[in-house]
């Protein structure tokens, strides 16, 4: 009697780690992209972005990004930052607003100048199937002024 009673609560018919199609819910994502920004004293710069995020819920995610930029005439900038993302429609994709906080490391003439980085980002994560996505975005903040770019990645 005791042994058969243990199995009564083993499963309730719902698998919490699966979505409505019975597939596992993808909680994390990694992406790589390109950006056009104002990481230069007098002109624009091009950059590469690497990002990782983890969904705490369907509406909120945390993670980090690292952006490397250069104006190709002596100034390079590295931006490691923590991200705090809110999906507006609460479905781990679609329209999002993101806050970034981290460091802004300027490499110029062999010298390193560290500054604080703070910014806001808005964009749209467009799922391509259950695994891949593309993500155009724009951002504003200090000290970079603005950036626009797009990333592509995988969810796992």
pLDDT in tens, 55-112: 999 999 999 999 999 988 889 999 999 999 999 999 889 999 999 999 999 999 889 9
**How many CA atoms within 13 Å lie on the side-chain side of 23?**
9
Domains identified in the chain and CATH numbers: 26-155 (2.40.160.20)
Q: Which helix (H) or strand (E) holds 3?
A: helix 2-6
**Eight-state DSSP code of residue 25:** P
pLDDT in tens, 24-64: 678 999 999 999 999 887 789 999 999 999 999 999 999 99
Query: How far is it, in rounded angstroms, from Cα 37 to Cα 69?
Result: 8
Query: How far is it, in rounded angstroms, from Cα 130 to Cα 58?
Result: 15
Tell me the pTM. Answer: 0.82
């Amino acid at each position: 009697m005791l042994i058969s009673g243990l199995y009564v609560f083993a499963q309730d018919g719902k698998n919490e780690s699966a979505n409505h199609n019975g597939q596992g819910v993808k909680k994390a994502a990694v992406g790589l992209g390109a950006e056009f920004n104002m990481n230069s004293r007098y002109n624009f710069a091009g950059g590469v972005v690497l990002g990782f995020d983890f969904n705490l819920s369907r509406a909120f995610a945390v993670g980090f990004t690292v952006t490397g930029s250069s104006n190709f005439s002596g100034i390079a900038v590295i931006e490691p930052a923590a991200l705090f993302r809110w999906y507006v429609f609460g479905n781990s994709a679609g329209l999002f607003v993101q806050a970034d906080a981290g460091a802004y490391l300027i490499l110029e003439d062999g010298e390193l100048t560290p500054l604080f980085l703070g910014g806001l980002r808005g964009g749209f994560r467009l799922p391509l199937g259950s695994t891949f996505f593309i993500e155009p975005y724009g951002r504003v903040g200090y000290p970079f002024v603005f950036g626009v770019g797009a990333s592509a990645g995988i969810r796992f």
